[in-house]
Amino acid sequence: MMKTLFVWDLNETIETGSEYSDMIAINNLLEELGSKKRLTKEELKGMPASLGAKLRIVIKGAGIAYSEQIRKKVIEHRIKVGLEYSKPVPGAEEALAEVKKHGDDNIVVTVAPKDVANEMLEKIGLRQYIDEVYSASEERNKKFPERHGDVENDAPKWKAFCVDKHSRKEHYGRKIFTGDRPEDAEAGNLCGATAFLIGKESTADFITKGLTGSVYVVSSPLDAVRIAYAIQ
């Protein structure tokens, strides 16, 4: 019987930190740049989900010109904050262990740098269950070095690329892609996986956010694994 490949997004899927990690990182950057502007929790509520989009809004309001150097600096700050506050999502360890008990494989596909993701997974005790870690950003930058930088706009494509790359090592009977955003479900659909999204929203809520294709909405990583095995 062929194995099942479980693909996991990292942040807010099997790992989580402070809900204010982006805000802390941006404010640390503003302090480094000598700006008195600070992003507040109230302002954060109406902002886009991605760190890059938040950064552009805040620095424009602070009268600071956006640059590649600033983008890199905020990522450095975000990594430090992430490592400081990082912890497993409830049910993540049990989910990953359950997959290994079945003799199947776990991989992590993230936009974060691979070495950072590995360090984070080691810190929270989950690396032992992961067969491989892939960085969609690094894979994109290898192919198109001239486009080095944010991969947010085409993250689903490059996450799917990572899954396809790993799948060339072994032929899997099924692929399960679990994340927390519609973009993750899109990546799952692109690589032929069954998609699971962890969140409080309903499937209808995710569809209004632009989700296409079939998806299961679950409350935890462990629910995703249990349902995946129940429907095989």
What would the 3-class secondary structure string for 114-179 be? HHHHHHHHHHCCCHHHCCEEEEHHHHHHHHCHHHCCCCHHHHHHHHHHHHHHHHCCCCCCEEEEEE
162 in the same domain as 128: yes
In this model, does residue 72 exceed pLDDT 90? no
Give the CATH number for residue 144. Answer: 3.40.50.1000
* Mean of all residue pLDDT scores within the chain: 89
Per the structure, the complete domain to which residue 185 belongs is given by 4-16+87-230
Domain end position, chosen among 85, 104, 119: 85
SS3 at position 231: coil
pLDDT-derived band of residue 152, with 50, 70 and 90 as boundaries?
low
Residue range 79-115, pLDDT digits in tens:
899 899 999 999 999 999 999 999 999 999 998 889 9
Q: Which residues pair with 62 in a beta bridge?
A: none
The pLDDT of residue 215? 83
pLDDT-derived band of residue 208, with 50, 70 and 90 as boundaries?
very low
151 in the same domain as 124: yes
Question: pTM of the predicted model, to two decimals?
Answer: 0.84
196 in the same domain as 108: yes
Short-list 140, 134, 87, CA closest to 110? 134
DSSP letter at 60?
H
Arithmetic mean of pLDDT, 170-190 = 92
Residue partners of 189: CB distance under 8 A and separation at least 6: 195, 212, 213, 214
97 in the same domain as 73: no
Pairing of strands 194-198, 215-218: parallel
Give the separation between CA 130 and CA 155, rounded to whole angstroms. 21
The pLDDT of residue 48? 85
Residue scoring higher pLDDT (136 or 213):
136
67 in the same domain as 156: no
Least confident of 62-76, 86-100, 208-222: 208-222
153 in the same domain as 215: yes
126 in the same domain as 79: no
102 in the same domain as 58: no
How many domains would you assign to the chain? 2
68 in the same domain as 126: no
Pairing of strands 15-16, 194-198: unpaired
